[in-house]
């Protein structure tokens, strides 16, 4: 669609001549009495002919949409578990008291943090009570770690990593290179092409050697769809070489591209799911395998049908998908932000191909956040924080307690993760641990007293 179009974009595709292209989108229709016209428009000025085949339009009520979300959560994020309790001779024990506690969650759900959290015990306590994943807002970016050429400073990142390690939090590395020249160190902009090539090699070596095995992910190329600083300076294969060098430096890290306006809306040809997939295919042709899809997810008014359609299309690639920087525009009041945030988080968590969600809500000393704060400066929840707490509670098993049946068994549905189990019978008690991973089959676990 044209950028000047007054109509709502509900789906895009990069179509090619003489072949079929798959277009999937979605939209809200607020009134059945108001006529709705779907039409196709090309970005360019050329006259084209479009042939449509196998068109399908599936309506959902809000209730049906919510029901499907819950169904997916129950089938994809939870699993049936049966605990068998017996004595040392293997005889099953009916009436045994069993308590099961979830001690960790399989799904990474976290937020951005910044150096304000260093030594800030109230902030640290608030964060650890909620999240099992973190990403550094700016402290790993090139402008922060090498503000002057050849002068490296990892102090803030090191201190933040100490906090992450101490609390067994999964951390994403953000980012190695940012394609937008506005956010590069000022000295980089003045380098010759040959000097820049040497500087990026030193950047990868310095960063990846220091933090090898520390970060589960690296955003190797940030906003590659919208900007191309390095390609203009070093050639069209520059970013592909970054991926290869990053993999060589830390082979166990999952390497991501990370970009905006892909899942949030369809506004221009550079930010479509097809443009992203095209970049992935370009990497593969160059012999580089990108491991993960990062979707920044800076939302205005969420279009959930479009969001699901885009996630469905990415899912075909069978790559990990993360919502990496989720927030809601600050043009909305706190209550509206919370409402939209819940919609986005439920849609993301219910999609089976989404492997993790990160909020972009790092609190600064002045009480400001990029767009959306979860708390005030005293770490009292704002409405968005209350929404996060509500969903965290809903998306964990907590604990369950009951007695075994006549077969010496006790069953429940639990969210994926790690559990402890305590079984008591006849004055004896025993403890054990077990894990619940994704599967369609019931998880059977036996414990002897």
Active site residues: 223, 325
Question: Which two tokens mark 312?
Answer: 């469905």
What is the Cα–Cα distance from 48 to 153, expressed in whole angstroms?
54
Strands (DSSP E) along 329-393, which ranges? 354-359
Q: Give the other-Cβ count within 10 Å of 186's Cβ.
A: 9
Please list the residues that pair with 170 across neighbouring strands: 133
Question: Which two tokens mark 117?
Answer: 């959290």
Region class of 143: left (phi > 0), else alpha (psi between -120 and 50), else beta: alpha
Question: Which two tokens mark 69?
Answer: 């979300």
Closest-CA residue to 218 (of 231, 209, 229)? 209
What is the Cα–Cα distance from 253 to 1, expressed in whole angstroms?
38
Closest-CA residue to 82 (of 445, 449, 339)? 445
What is the Cα–Cα distance from 266 to 30, expressed in whole angstroms?
20
Q: What angle do CA 221, 224, 279 make, to 5 degrees?
A: 100
Exposed/middle/buried for residue 16 (C-beta within 10 Å: 0-12, 13-18, 19+): exposed
Question: Which two tokens mark 18?
Answer: 């003489």
Residues 6+ positions from 84 with CB-CB distance below 8 Å: 92, 408, 409, 444, 445, 446, 447
Closest-CA residue to 349 (of 11, 78, 137, 27)? 78
Question: Which two tokens mark 436?
Answer: 């619940």
Q: Is 426 helix (H, G, I), strand (E, B) or coil?
A: coil
Residues 6+ positions from 117 with CB-CB distance below 8 Å: 123, 124, 127, 160, 163
Q: Measuring CA to CA, how many Å separate 119 from each of 114, 115, 156?
A: 12, 9, 11
Closest-CA residue to 116 (of 380, 379, 392)? 379
- The H or E element spanning position 152 is none
Q: Give the other-Cβ count within 10 Å of 316's Cβ.
A: 10
Question: Which two tokens mark 284?
Answer: 């593969």
């Amino acid at each position: 669609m044209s950028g000047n179009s007054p109509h709502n974009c509900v789906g895009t595709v990069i179509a090619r001549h003489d072949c079929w292209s798959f277009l999937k989108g979605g939209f809200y229709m607020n009134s059945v009495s108001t006529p709705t016209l779907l039409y196709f428009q090309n970005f360019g000025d050329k006259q084209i002919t479009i042939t449509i085949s196998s068109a399908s339009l599936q309506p959902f009520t809000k209730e049906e949409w919510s029901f499907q979300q819950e169904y997916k959560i129950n089938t994809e994020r939870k699993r049936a578990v049966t605990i068998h309790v017996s004595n040392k001779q293997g005889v099953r024990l009916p009436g045994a008291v069993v308590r099961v506690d979830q001690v960790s969650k399989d799904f990474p759900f976290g937020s951005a943090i910044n150096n304000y959290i260093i030594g800030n015990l109230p902030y640290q306590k608030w964060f650890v009570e909620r999240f099992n994943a973190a990403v550094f807002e700016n402290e790993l970016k090139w402008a922060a770690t090498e503000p002057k050429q050849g002068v490296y400073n990892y102090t803030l990142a090191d201190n933040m990593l100490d906090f992450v390690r101490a609390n067994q939090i999964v951390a994403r590395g953000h980012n190695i290179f940012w394609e937008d020249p506005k956010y590069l160190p000022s000295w980089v902009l003045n380098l010759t092409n040959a000097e820049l090539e040497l500087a990026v090699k030193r950047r990868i070596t310095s960063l990846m050697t220091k933090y090898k095995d520390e970060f589960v992910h690296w955003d190797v190329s940030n906003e590659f769809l919208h900007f191309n600083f390095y390609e203009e300076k070093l050639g069209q294969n520059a970013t592909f070489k970054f991926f290869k060098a990053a993999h060589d430096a830390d082979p166990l890290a999952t390497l991501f591209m990370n970009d905006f306006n892909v899942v949030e809306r369809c506004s221009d040809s550079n930010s479509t799911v097809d443009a992203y997939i095209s970049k992935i295919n370009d990497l593969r042709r160059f012999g580089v395998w990108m491991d993960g899809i990062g979707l920044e997810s800076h939302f205005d008014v969420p279009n959930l049908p479009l969001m699901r359609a885009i996630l469905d299309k990415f899912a075909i690639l069978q790559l990990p998908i993360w919502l990496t920087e989720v927030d809601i525009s600050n043009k909305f009041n706190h209550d509206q932000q919370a409402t939209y945030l819940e919609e986005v988080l439920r849609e993301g968590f219910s999609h089976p191909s989404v492997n993790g969600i990160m909020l972009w809500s790092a609190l600064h000393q002045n009480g400001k956040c990029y767009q959306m704060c979860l708390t005030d400066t005293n770490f009292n929840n704002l409405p968005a924080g209350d929404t996060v707490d509500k969903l965290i509670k809903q998306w964990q098993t907590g604990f369950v307690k009951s007695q075994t049946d006549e077969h010496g068994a006790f069953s429940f549905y639990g969210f994926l993760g790690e559990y402890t189990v305590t079984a008591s019978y006849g004055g004896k008690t025993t403890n054990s641990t077990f894990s619940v991973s994704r599967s369609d089959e019931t998880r059977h676990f036996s414990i002897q007293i």
